[in-house]
């Protein structure tokens, strides 16, 4: 099952050095989930061949502009490009007021429905549960109400022994049932037990998106053992005071968090405009957590 994240924006506060404000798109079993939507996100999708029409879920962490100012433009473009499918939008309650006001004055009546689901910055809650994943909010500690998002795969499907299926001549239309654990009975009535045709599935994966937040252990339990942790790392640790003051995290702290929660890999992002080069931020996080990468525009990471 595909479970990957593509970075559309990695900048904090202002766009700079070809870095765009925060946005990411997850592909989980060919469904796209958009996480945050800074100004220019729709342009980034065009640039990196992400088909916006395939997105059915959008998650907004909080109402600082660098995390949502591209949303009204995107919603409007979906409308103009003929979308009819309902879109689920998750975010702080005030987001709806902001969107409604802008569509009121532009006299826009969307051709599709937006199902708006309020997030609660004080409580972890499961906000999506479909056949592929559950998605929970992660209460974070920022200057204004803010939640991260935790994506957990449900049980993965069993893996087909393709060679064997071919030898026996199992028709392709049975494959989905086999992946889900069914036995196969051939036209002559012979039964093949599932475990002779498939092997155990991989363990389900988890991805945590934590932006923006003060270093705070309130969410560590929730993200324990994730396979991939995206964590903001706005500053180097020599700016720890500034990080605390603005309720952000340093690269060193992001590394420490990844270590503490036993993440398999760490991605850092939300870089301050003061860093033209990101090398030092990466090195600082890697000094405590070697399996760290940079959340750079256009890059795709497998969870």
Contact residues for its own copies, defined by CB under 8 A: 13-16, 20-21, 39-40, 42-43, 46, 63-66, 69-70, 72-73, 76-77, 80-81, 92, 94, 97-98, 101-102, 105-108, 143-144
- Across 136-169, b (16+ Cβ under 10 Å) vs e yields bbbbbebeebbbbbbbbbeebbbebbeeebeeee
46 vs 203 by CB, closer to its own copies: 46
20 vs 198 by CB, closer to its own copies: 20
144 vs 203 by CB, closer to its own copies: 144
- Minimum gap (Å) between residue 154 Cβ and its own copies: 34
Do 102 and 133 contact (CB within 8 A), yes or no? no
93 vs 181 by CB, closer to its own copies: 93
- Minimum gap (Å) between residue 3 Cβ and its own copies: 29
- Minimum gap (Å) between residue 110 Cβ and its own copies: 12
**How many whole angstroms separate alpha carbon 133 and alpha carbon 28?**
8
Do 36 and 22 contact (CB within 8 A), yes or no? yes
Alpha carbons within 13 angstroms on the beta-carbon side of residue 189 total: 0
> CB 129: neighbour CB atoms within 10 A?
12
Do 32 and 50 contact (CB within 8 A), yes or no? yes
Cis peptide before 265 (omega within 30 of 0): no
82 vs 169 by CB, closer to its own copies: 82
Q: Per-residue DSSP letters for 33-69? A: EEEEE-TTHHHHHHHTT--GGGEEEEE---SSGGGTT
110: tokens are 């969307």
Please report, for residues 22, 190, 299, the alpha-carbon distance to residue 277 in angstroms, rounded to integers and kept in the order given: 18, 64, 17
255: tokens are 């590394």
Active-site residue 227, yes or no?
Answer: no
Do 250 and 240 contact (CB within 8 A), yes or no? yes
**How many whole angstroms separate alpha carbon 292 and alpha carbon 254?**
10
**How many whole angstroms separate alpha carbon 222 and alpha carbon 220?**
5
Do 293 and 301 contact (CB within 8 A), yes or no? yes
Residue of 66, 132, 212, 227 with catalytic role: 66
Write out the catalytic residue numbers: 66
């Amino acid at each position: 099952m595909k479970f990957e994240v593509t970075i559309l924006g990695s900048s904090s506060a202002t766009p700079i050095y070809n870095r765009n404000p925060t946005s990411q798109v997850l592909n989980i079993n060919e469904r796209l989930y958009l996480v945050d939507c800074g100004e220019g996100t729709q342009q980034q999708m065009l640039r990196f061949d992400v088909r916006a029409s395939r997105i059915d879920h959008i998650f907004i962490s909080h109402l600082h502009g660098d995390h949502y100012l591209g949303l009204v433009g995107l919603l409007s473009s979906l409308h103009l490009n003929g979308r009819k499918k309902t879109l689920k939008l998750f975010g702080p309650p005030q987001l709806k007021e902001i969107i409604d006001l802008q569509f009121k004055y532009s006299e826009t009546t969307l051709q599709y429905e937006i199902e708006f689901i309020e997030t609660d910055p004080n409580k972890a809650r499961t906000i999506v549960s479909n056949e592929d994943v559950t998605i929970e909010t992660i209460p974070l500690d920022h200057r204004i109400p803010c939640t991260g998002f935790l994506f957990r795969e449900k049980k993965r499907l069993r893996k087909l022994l393709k060679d064997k299926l071919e030898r026996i001549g199992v028709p392709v239309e049975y494959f989905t049932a086999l992946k889900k654990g069914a036995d196969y009975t051939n036209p002559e009535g012979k039964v093949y037990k599932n475990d002779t045709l498939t092997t155990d599935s991989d363990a389900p994966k988890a991805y945590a998106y934590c932006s923006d937040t003060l270093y705070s252990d309130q969410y560590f339990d929730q993200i324990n053992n994730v396979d991939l942790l995206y964590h903001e790392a706005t500053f180097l640790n020599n700016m720890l005071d500034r990080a605390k003051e603005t309720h952000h995290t340093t690269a060193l702290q992001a590394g420490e968090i990844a270590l503490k929660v036993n993440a398999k890999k760490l991605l850092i992002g939300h870089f301050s405009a003061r860093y033209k080069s990101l090398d030092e931020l990466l090195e600082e996080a890697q000094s405590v957590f070697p399996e760290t990468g940079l959340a750079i525009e256009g890059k795709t990471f497998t969870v």
